[in-house]
Amino acid sequence: MKLDELLKLITENHNIAINQTILAESLGITRQTVSNRLKTGSEVTVSELRKIEEYFGLSLFFNRKNNDDIITVDYYKDVFASCGNGSIVFSEEKTQLSLSESLIQGFSRQKKYSIINASGNSMSPTIEQGDKLIVEHWVDNQIQDNKIYVFCFNNEFFVKRLSKNLDEVIIKSDNADYRTRTISGNTINDLVLVGKIVGIIKSVN
């Protein structure tokens, strides 16, 4: 969840007016840092969400008495979908995590979700090493342009931004140090979409 989305959630659902100074105080950072993060669309970490809950006496995500919007999702803690040069899944052992529906873009109880870990830096600053990625499982190979997907190609898993252009798929990284790639011709059939990234839980450094 982005910082501006969190502010909107608190304002609309809890009727609390929060300015940048108060938010900075709750997080233990400067007002200028808050301002910069709002401008860049910064994501909120789990640790920061807990700080805000404690500071304002709210139950935003983790300690709600009403669990109607809390769902349980499979978490593959040892499955690393690469954000760099590709990484083969080496374990399918899973646990379960509980999280709020509000952390998932376009949430629907008719859809299937999982959580995996990100590895590498090619999607930085959107996705960083160790971030948890909420994956909406994809039922077909239809690509929504410029969305971030987990996909398998040549028996390796990747997390990249995809677009479709006539008879080719364009694979882009958010990190400018990585070049754009394309898959075309018959090899497109070897690309299998695992799911779309619909939420990012930022790692706590």
What CATH number has the domain bearing residue 126? 2.10.109.10
- The parent domain of residue 16 ranges over 3-56
Say if residue 28 is in the same domain as residue 74.
no
* Residue 64 belongs to some domain of the structure: no
Q: Tell whether 115 is covered by a domain.
A: yes
Q: Are residues 166 and 189 in the same domain?
A: yes
Is the same domain home to 81 and 43?
Answer: no
Together in a domain, 44 and 84: no
> What SS3 class is residue 75?
strand
Q: 174-195 burial, b if ≥16 CB within 10 A, otherwise e?
A: bbeebeeeebeeeeeeebebbb
Q: For residue 13, with 0-12 CB atoms within 10 Å meaning exposed, 13-18 middle and 19 or more buried, which class applies?
A: exposed
Q: With respect to residue 61, please indicate whether it lies within any of the assigned structural domains.
A: no
Domain membership of residue 150 (yes or no) is yes
pLDDT per position in the chain (205 positions), as tens?
678 877 777 776 666 667 888 888 888 889 899 889 888 888 877 778 778 877 777 666 544 444 557 788 888 877 766 666 666 565 667 887 778 888 888 888 889 999 988 888 999 999 988 888 999 988 766 898 999 999 988 878 899 999 998 889 999 999 999 999 999 988 888 888 889 999 988 765 4
Q: Give the end of a domain, one of 15, 30, 56.
A: 56
Q: Indicate whether 39 and 74 sit together in one domain.
A: no
Number of domains in the chain: 2
Nearest to 152 by CA among 138, 165, 173, 131: 138
Q: Are residues 51 and 85 in the same domain?
A: no
Q: In the prediction, which pLDDT does 178 show? A: 94
Please choose, from the candidates 162, 155, 168, 153, the residue with its C-alpha nearest in 3D space to the C-alpha of residue 197: 162
Contact assessment for residue 163 and residue 172, using Cβ atoms and an 8 Å cutoff: yes
Structure tokens at 74: 């499979």
pLDDT of residue 58: 67
The separation between the first and the last C-alpha atoms of the chain, rounded to the nearest angstrom, is 17
The maximal CA–CA distance of the chain, rounded, in angstroms, is 56
Q: What is d(CA 110, CA 200) in angstroms, rounded to the nearest whole number?
A: 20
Residue 41 DSSP label: T
Whole-prediction pTM value? 0.66
> 189 and 130 in one domain?
yes
Do 47 and 80 belong to one domain? no
